[in-house]
Homo-oligomer: A and B are copies of this chain.
Amino acid sequence: MNGRKNIAIVGGGLVGCLMGLYLARRGNKISIFERRPDPRIHAVDAGRSINLALSNRGIKSLEEVGLGNIVRETAIPMNGRMVHDLAGNLTFLPYGKQGQFINSISRGDLNKTLVWAAEKEGIEFFFDHRCIRTDLASSSLSFQTDTITTDQQFDAIVGADGAFSNVRMAMQLTDRFNYEQHYIEHGYKEFHIPAGTSKVLERNALHIWPRESFMLIALPNPDGSFTGTLFFPFEGASSFKSLADPVNFESFFRKSFPDVGDLITDLQEQLKMNPVSSLITIRCFPWSMHNTLLLGDASHAIVPFYGQGMNAGFEDCRILNGLLNKHNDDWGLAIAEFQLFRKPDTDAISHLAMDNFIEMRDLVADKDFQLRKKIESKIHSLYPDQWVPLYSMVTFHEDIRYSEAYRVGQKQKKIMDEVMKIPDIATTWQLLDLQTVLRQIKED
């Protein structure tokens, strides 16, 4: 089944557009169906994250389709985490080595760029088209617009329609489809922190206010403003539910994040008006049936705490494209191999993303944790090939699979747990016998 194919992509978000670009360049006829209006005309929905952390895996895919320049032009480098404690003290924790950083990028701008690029490549967009039915056996789709319902048949379908994928629903109704949707007990609410705050908020950093059971983060925007995101329990003593009254919420917010509270002039208004969104994890298998394949959040939505959701989706596109090369555009062979190869990696990043929530809201404020990072970073700088910290493997090493990073990371954790048990390690760590540590990482 090679040759020019008529392929439908359901979902015109980041992953759908990027996959469209890859597939169009392979000579296929691509139609992208999106339930939302054209993002070039209408702003993105409220309640979706405004900026995202783009890192190496995502960048590599963008570069492959010739969009590497957008990163350099519009993204804001974030060199590390700036941790804000209750007293307003700041601690800067670099993400990696000198020159390694992640990028704050606007979801809306990136989406628009991808739509423009896709159109230039001859891809046809159908906005305001809601996919209401997928027939897997015949590769046909039904769409609903404000006025009509249409049916169309394709050679292949890509379901890039996000965590609440309608394409996936068709798979879910078949026999032996494994599926899991899990919500964490925290939701999130975004805040606009106006420009002119650069004296308080260092521009080239991801800011974190870790408060154990909850946290606030903030990412820089091109106009000098920041977007803050509060991750907060839905229910319980301090929760969206218990603080439903904006007056109480405001005083809680100011007490919890004193330095940022003063930067938001309309804090109470924002607490009242900005929506609360939930955070879902999706796992499923298989990802492909007949000629239909799920991609990105549709098959593996993850929580945002490793900044890898978009990056993992973009990496999906690159890997599928590589398999289409390998299989001479035999779609059936490519998607069959894709799901088997890729599933362990997205499972790994799914677990890592969940684990990182605890790290972000709790451990980054912990002295032992900071010492651990310092020791690991020293080992890495002396033996860069033998010990790459987990965060670096995930974020800066697009050549290391997520599943491999996960495996090595667990081994590193065990070794470092033992190192941290050494008496007086806080004062003696510079004298640590690194050869012994490195020997352990090589053992199987």
Which residues of A are at the interface with B, using a C-beta cutoff of 8 A?
A: 172, 175-183, 234, 278
Q: Give the contacting residue for A176; candidates B175, B176, B178, B183; CB below 8 A.
A: B183
Q: Are A278 and B175 in contact (CB under 8 A)?
A: yes
Residues of B within 8 A of A183 (CB): 175-178
Residues of B within 8 A of A175 (CB): 183, 278
Q: Give the contacting residue for A234; candidates B176, B234, B278; CB below 8 A.
A: B176
Inter-chain pairs besides A176-B234, A180-B180, 9 sampled, C-beta below 8 Å: A172-B181, A175-B278, A176-B183, A176-B278, A177-B181, A177-B183, A178-B181, A179-B179, A180-B181
Q: For residue A188, give the distance in angstroms from its CB to the closest CB of chain B.
A: 13
What are 16 A-B residue pairs whose CB atoms fall within 8 Å in the complex? A172-B181, A175-B183, A175-B278, A176-B234, A176-B278, A177-B181, A177-B183, A178-B181, A178-B182, A178-B183, A179-B179, A179-B180, A179-B181, A180-B180, A180-B181, A180-B182
Residues of B within 8 A of A182 (CB): 178, 180
Q: For residue A299, give the distance in angstroms from its CB to the closest CB of chain B.
A: 15
Complex alpha-carbon distance, A177 and B183, angstroms: 7
Complex alpha-carbon distance, A180 and B177, angstroms: 11
Residues of B within 8 A of A181 (CB): 172, 177-180
Complex alpha-carbon distance, A181 and B182, angstroms: 12
Complex alpha-carbon distance, A8 and B266, angstroms: 49
The chain B residue with its CB closest to the CB of A276 is B175
Q: For residue A437, give the distance in angstroms from its CB to the closest CB of chain B.
A: 33
Complex alpha-carbon distance, A183 and B176, angstroms: 6
The chain B residue with its CB closest to the CB of A185 is B176
Q: For residue A235, give the distance in angstroms from its CB to the closest CB of chain B.
A: 10
Complex alpha-carbon distance, A181 and B174, angstroms: 12
The chain B residue with its CB closest to the CB of A176 is B183
Residues of B within 8 A of A176 (CB): 183, 234, 278
Q: For residue A339, give the distance in angstroms from its CB to the closest CB of chain B.
A: 15
The chain B residue with its CB closest to the CB of A284 is B181
Complex alpha-carbon distance, A68 and B394, angstroms: 60
Complex alpha-carbon distance, A365 and B178, angstroms: 31
Complex alpha-carbon distance, A177 and B175, angstroms: 22
Residues of B within 8 A of A234 (CB): 176
Complex alpha-carbon distance, A183 and B179, angstroms: 9
Complex alpha-carbon distance, A278 and B174, angstroms: 11
